Amino acid sequence: MSEDGKVRISKILSERGVCSRREADSYIEKGWVFVDGEPAVLGLKVSPDAVITLDDRASFRQDRSVTILLHKPVGYVSGQPEKGYRPAVALITPENRHRADKSPIEFTPAHLNGLAPAGRLDIDSQGLLIFTQDGRVAKTLIGADSTVEKEYIVRVNGELQAGRLELLNHGLSLDGKKLKPAVVTWLNEDQLKFVLKEGRKRQIRRMCEMVGLEVVGLKRVRVGRVRLSDLPEGRWRYLGEDESF
């Protein structure tokens, strides 16, 4: 916030949950954002309680934004492609759509425009990966103040010494920063369930290494209230109208 208390419009719209900052800037450039009835310009700072409205075209675009659930296989990267590996978004094709998808949405190439992963799974992991065109969804899942749970099934090698399970739940730090409390429990003799509210780089693998365990398999099975369920590996479906994170 500046000394006069004013804030950029894009930040205010993001904080109000209207859209992401990137979307806000795009709407401003198109002339779809108004402050007290006057067209906004990029970089404009206003009072945090200013009356900001959107053109109907911005609302229409948001309503048509899609969110896609993909069962990412091992060997695919979540975001930018790396040498020798394909990005997971390459799996989002008409042929790979799950046959059981009940969404009435008909796939078009436009659904790939601006589609970005809301979170990540490393190349050695599989499971539920969310792609969205909707900045509101992205903010909910990966915003700085996000509290959405992510659940993982983790197969490990090694022996967990006394007191180390408690450390996994709360007490470890990565890169000099303390981790948020987690919920970690045994499912069977070689599988742990992790429930996290953050997603630091290779977090679960690094946490396990710190307590003497080796991760040999990692699968994300839930993001918020949305589960991977029976979505086959390498297949995708649309987020249903009755679903939310």
Q: Using alpha carbons only, give the angle 174, 175, 179 rounded to the nearest 5 degrees.
A: 30
The architecture that CATH gives domain 7-63 is Roll (3.10)
Read off the pLDDT of residues 159-205 as tens digits, 9 standing for 90 and up. 998 889 999 999 899 999 999 999 999 999 999 999 999 988 899 99
115-122 — which CB contacts under 8 Å span 24+ positions? 115/66, 115/68, 115/89, 116/79, 117/78, 117/79, 117/88, 117/89, 118/142, 119/78, 119/150, 119/199, 119/223, 120/78, 120/79, 120/199, 121/72, 121/78, 121/88, 121/220, 122/78, 122/201, 122/202, 122/205
Domains 65-145+226-238 and 150-223 share a fold: yes
- CATH class entry, domain 65-145+226-238: alpha beta
- If you write DSSP's letter for every residue of 85-133 in order, what string do you get? -EEGGGG-SGGGB-TT----PPP-GGGGTT-EESS---TT-EEEEEEES
- If you write DSSP's letter for every residue of 33-48 in order, what string do you get? EEETTEE--TT-EE-T
Q: Would you say residue 2 has pLDDT above 60?
A: no
Q: Which of 47-61, 74-88, 212-226 has the lowest mean pLDDT?
A: 47-61
pTM over 0.85: no
DSSP secondary structure code for residue 66 in this structure: -
**Is 122 one of the catalytic residues?**
yes
Count the alpha carbons within 13 Å of 203 in the hemisphere toward its beta carbon. Answer: 25
- If you write DSSP's letter for every residue of 154-202 in order, what string do you get? EEEES---TTHHHHHHTT-EETTEEPPP-EEEEEETTEEEEEES---TT
From 56, 122, 145, 190, active-site residue: 122
Read off the pLDDT of residues 203-214 as tens digits, 9 standing for 90 and up. 999 999 999 999
CATH T-level topology, domain 150-223 = Alpha-Beta Plaits (3.30.70)
Task: Tell me whether residue 192 is exposed, middle or buried, using C-beta atoms within 10 angstroms of its C-beta: 0 to 12, 13 to 18, 19 or more.
Answer: buried
How far apart CA 126 and CA 132 sit, in angstroms, is 18
Q: Would you say residue 1 has pLDDT above 70?
A: no
Domain residue ranges of the chain, discontinuous segments joined by +: 7-63, 65-145+226-238, 150-223
Radius of gyration for the alpha carbons in the chain, expressed in angstroms and rounded: 21
pLDDT-derived band at 230, boundaries 50, 70, 90: very high
